[in-house]
Chain A
Amino acid sequence: MTRRNKITSLKNFPLFFSPAIFLIVFFVAFPVLQTVYLSFFSPTDEFVGLDNYFDVLSQKEVLNIEGFPKWPPLGALIHNLIWILIHLPLTMFSGLILAVILKDVKGSSIVKSAVFLGMVTPLIVGGIILRFTFERGVGVVNAFFNVLGFEQLARTWTAYPETALFALIFGSAWLWTGFSMIIYSAGLATIPKEYYEAAKIDGTSPFRTFFRITFPLLKPMTITVVTMTILWELKIFDIVFVATRGGPGWASNVLAYQMWLLAFRDLNFNSAAAVATFLTFLTLFVTVGMIRYMVRR
């Protein structure tokens, strides 16, 4: 931030900031604090400390340790973590590979638009499309596994607890890959051509060039992609709502959906607030990491 930018004076502060402050205080900041407050109180408004958090984390919809190394349902929290473990590397690397490859492809804007279509699609529609794609008979995934001879996997994925969560994860990877592809494409455009020319003259192999030049120079983009993707994975809601409703038997439940169930089905605002606060704690943890990196830079 350069210091020469102080052209306007403090006396106009209200003019420029009051509309924004009004909206943010009343409809974002106050509700956030109110949610934190609710999470520490019982429905009868008695202070209960962390009891709501312990209650929520001991529900098997949220954390199902008994079932552990087996299939889902393992609880919403674990499902969110599985989501991150599969979806983050999958979308990050497919986006990166696509961005690198498409640099040298004729008609790459058409390919990019096709991949990016998923980012523009409303997630509620994305959920419908991925459910259709995994449907037995009409869906293309099952036809694919039939051709390969894996009849076990040729069924309506969203209807079975063993596969429902994975159908949603792979489907959401298809929807989100456009994000990392676009960010990495923009990053690649900032790398000077001379670097590659020099590498070529030195006879460096394409793989070595990628790992020694391209990937390190893309580090800021990688930080952005990782942060934004984890935030997206933690906030996942629409897809689950429309494709499986968290089922079958809680096998595809996630924290955001569990919060909605507690608040607007059970009308248990305090437990719902505890889930929301816990979820926000996770997202802030990720964001603070990014901010610290950017400040150091």
Chain B
Amino acid sequence: MKIRKTTVIIHIIAWSAALIWIVPFLGVLMAAIRPFPEIIHGWWDFAEFNPSFSNFVEAWSHPSAPLAQGMLNSLLVAIPSTLIPMFVASLAGYGFARFSFPIRDYIFLSVVLIMALPQQMIAVPIFQIMTNLGLIDNFIGLILVHSAWGLAWIILFMRNYFLRLPIEIEEAAKVDGASDFKIFYKIVMPMALPALASVAVLQFMWVWNDFFLALILISSPDKYLATQRIPYMRGVYHVDWGVLSAASILVMVVPVIIYVLLQKYYIRGMIGWTVKG
């Protein structure tokens, strides 16, 4: 009888936690699908209920900050900013896992330290470098910074993965006369697909969710990324909660869908880049 009681209490706590965590999202969803006067006394007031998608349509083709363009821009930045560091960091991570040279551990230590840096630490010089290169307000500039910024953790993550691969296959290929690069490309990378999936999911999400780097590097409104457009949806004299909520939901839907579909890889990536250090 005693065990039953604790089980019940545990279930109650667990499900109330789920409720507490979901309620703020529900509020914003209600604000997005209902006219504002209806929810002025709380979105849980269902005396009147006239859901519509008009706020989503308005956010999608907003006069000053259309989200359609923002989502497209975010994709144009996030896809290369995922693929470039994935490939570059895999090469280096493999190097760290398989080469032996004296200063390796120090380089490795600096890679870990880079992960601690706030983006503010590179903001001013990056702004100046990109201005000098003519890459300010240009997606290429932003992609380069995102790629470099993501490298540190991907190198660490891939190196940890490569260390656990059976080395015998590579040794056999080596005996057969395959070059190091060929071994990497033909044997190691296909074996690393699950790790690469984790990297792709996490890096894509971080770039999609990023705001600060876009804020300092992208300045013309038609090039604004999705996250940059949210602050511009607030309305002039009062907060236009309907459009703002609809825009927020549209921007977060992309990472949420990725998470739901590829949860396994996301969680593994999350745990891998922290716990196993």
Contacts and interface: CB of A to CB of B under 8 A. Distances in A.
B148 A123 contact: no
Interface in B174-204: 174, 180-181, 184
Given A120-B205, A122-B255, A132 B31 contact: yes
Contact of A235 (B119, B147, B258): B119
Interface in B79-132: 85, 88-89, 91-92, 94-95, 97-101, 109, 112-129
Given A24-B152, A138-B43, A6 B271 contact: no
Nearest to A269: B124
Contact of A128 (B22, B114, B205, B230): B230
Contacts of B11: 105-106
A53 interface: no
Interface residues of B, number: 100
A24 B154 CA distance: 12
Given A129-B25, A220-B275, A140 B123 contact: no
Contacts of B126: 27, 31
Interface stretch (A10-18, A58-66, A84-92, A209-217): A10-18
A20 interface: yes
A12 B145 CA distance: 26
A57 interface: no
Contacts of A137: 40-42
Given A101-B14, A124-B211, A10 B101 contact: yes
B216 to A, nearest CB: 6
Nearest to B114: A28
Contacts of A284: 113, 116
B10 interface: yes
Nearest to A235: B118
Given A16-B91, A28-B148, A123-B211, A35 B277 contact: no
A143 interface: yes
Given A101-B13, A121-B255, A273-B124, A114 B99 contact: no
Given A129-B25, A256-B118, A19 B209 contact: no
B180 A12 contact: yes
Given A124-B227, A129-B28, A256-B120, A7 B14 contact: no
A129 B24 contact: yes
A206 B10 CA distance: 13
A263 B104 CA distance: 36
A134 B227 CA distance: 21
Interface residues of A, number: 99
A110 B11 CA distance: 12
A128 B11 CA distance: 31
A287 interface: yes
B275 A129 contact: no
B7 interface: yes
B118 A280 contact: yes
A8 interface: yes
Contacts of A235: 118-120
Given A118-B21, A129-B248, A275 B120 contact: yes
B117 A283 contact: yes
Contacts, number: 298
Contacts of B21: 114-115, 117-118, 174, 177
B171 interface: yes
Contacts of B251: 122, 124-125
Q: Which of B124, B125, B258 has the most CB of A within 10 A?
A: B124
A20 B155 contact: yes
Contacts of A128: 28, 230, 244-245, 248
A186 interface: yes
A5 interface: yes
A32 B126 CA distance: 9
B241 interface: yes
6 contacts: A35-B122, A35-B125, A114-B18, A123-B209, A132-B28, A231-B116
Given A132-B31, A241-B231, 9 more contacts: A15-B91, A20-B92, A23-B85, A140-B42, A228-B274, A237-B119, A241-B211, A242-B231, A256-B212
Query: 8 closest Cβ contacts across the A-B interface?
Result: A27-B148, A16-B95, A31-B125, A122-B209, A20-B92, A31-B122, A34-B125, A287-B116
